[in-house]
Structure 1
Amino acid sequence: MMKKLIPAAILLTAMGAAHAELAVYGLVDISYGKNIADDAADRNARIHSGGDDGSSQGNSVTRVGLKGSNDLGSGLKANFKLETAGIDRDLRIGKEDKLFFNRQAWAGLSGSFGEVRFGRQDSVPFQMMGGYDFNGLANAASALGNSGVAAWGRGRQTQSLQYISPSMSGFTAQVGFAGKEDGVRTNDAKATTSAGLTYVAGKFSVSVVGETKREDSSENFAGVSGSYDFGVVKVMASYSDGFYGTNSKGPGVGFVAPVAGFNVGMMYGKNNDTDAAATELFINREIFKNTYAYADFARVNQTSYLGPRGNAYALGVIYVFDIKLSGGR
């Protein structure tokens, strides 16, 4: 582990000397419950960290990270982010075959032109579409994920080069390229390109994304999502084709509303190819500063390629932290 931490220490030292802003950030999710796979196997509910079982328990992934930004002058900044794999209840970080900084490990530049990043990072569809899931892409309960119609597509990519444009008249564009060595399921990996466009006007937002297939044996991906905030309730609708590289498509809908200080909502996904349908109910509230209590429940009523039918639930607490280590002098 020390060998893996040494490059981060060197990076810290170099950026600190250049008057960088550095911070340690992260999230701790502790819950009681079980996911769909546990329920189908008739396993008992238990206490979990958000990094348990491949980060499929609770609501969010327990993790810790290091991020920094260095002012280069003339409006130009150098940025980086390093974020660990999920931390399980035994304080193990990821599985044995995962990198230490499995979630994020990228560096880049930003300025009036937008932002450029290179390294391991979330895919373009994931970044542009994740915000339309009102329960934060819940680990165990995600209706869109469990039904196989999530408009955020597949996740992180290694050796990914991405460009994010500045907002222009409400429009923001993002494009990405990842080399073929990033294939994770088969030995027929392909280089991939992705692109997305978001338009925001007041309380209305809509995004459309696409990504070419990551393996010869998989499928291209496309997704569209939109939301509108009525004040008393916020609603969304989405449609995706090719979730996780499979022949899988269908719609998703959801809402969230403030009720007596709580956020109460529902998400629903229907897979037109597998007939899998999933419903997700959730309620959460900030109980202390940066500390949130939540309850998630989900049901999948048909077996899909992602897993069996069953129920999932999680009752938990999330603590979020962002500790500034240094700033510009």
Structure 2
Amino acid sequence: LDLKPKYTAIKTYPVPGFADIEVVPTTAWNYGLFIDTEHIERSISVNTSAIPDNPFASGSSPVKLSLKAQKLPGWTISPNPLYANEVPVSPVSSKEQVETVSLIPYGTENIRISSFPVIGKPESYKSLKDDFSSGSLNKWIQYGGAWHIKDGILNCSANSGTNINGTKLVAESALFSNLNYTADIKLNSKSNAGITFRVNNSVLGADAYQGYYAAVDASTGNVVLGKSSQKWIELKTSAQDIKTGINYKLRVLAVGPQIKVYLNQQADPVITFTDTEYTSGGIGLRAYNCAAGFDEITVAAVN
């Protein structure tokens, strides 16, 4: 994207010409593009000019692409202001004015946006199922953890030793309020993994999200319910002799402020808790310092 940058020296050194430079955009960057996927050439205008001595100098690129676009107010800078939040899953909608934006070669600027969502009608979810047999994670956004699918099982690494210690996978466009959410979970190391729901504002980091988390924990033997608002808050636990190497079916029924957590098809919940902080959001999977496997994800809206 052809951004207008602002350069500020935030720290200087005794040697002239050496400084730490902060670069920020002075123009909007959070756009979705109008792309006709059947006829991409109809969506893009190519503008060329004479090649200058330095074709990669800012402001003098000999080729620019023009496209129609709309700003996405919900796509923002992360709570850590060093980077933007993840690119929204396409298609996305916007009520902002339609504009024309320019795309320039990657090397012509020091501050870059090079991935964009596509404007369109977002998918509406009343339910979501994923057994990972397709080998695709196109519904999900990954936040660390080396997620991979093997033999129809979704696996994540422990992420230990990275100063993050946790990993998330979030279907941010699959918005649910009241829901019935089930997943098969197998712990391959002695910590916890589980499901997140009513999730918003996710960024890289174990607790860097807003929403609820229900999990099985082999380090304590417990089923645990908690929430995060960019920091972890434990709400309630239940002793269930949770161990590594065993498949557990974990289910959450959340209706209004009441949250019930079930284990292995038991008729009665192992945890019942009331909390009013989060009412709706995306769904996801999470592990904390734990290698884990996930399968048979089923989510349904509850009236």
TM norm structure 2? 0.24
Please state which structure has a larger fraction of its residues in helix: 1
TM norm structure 1? 0.23
Which has the higher Rg, Structure 1 or Structure 2? 2
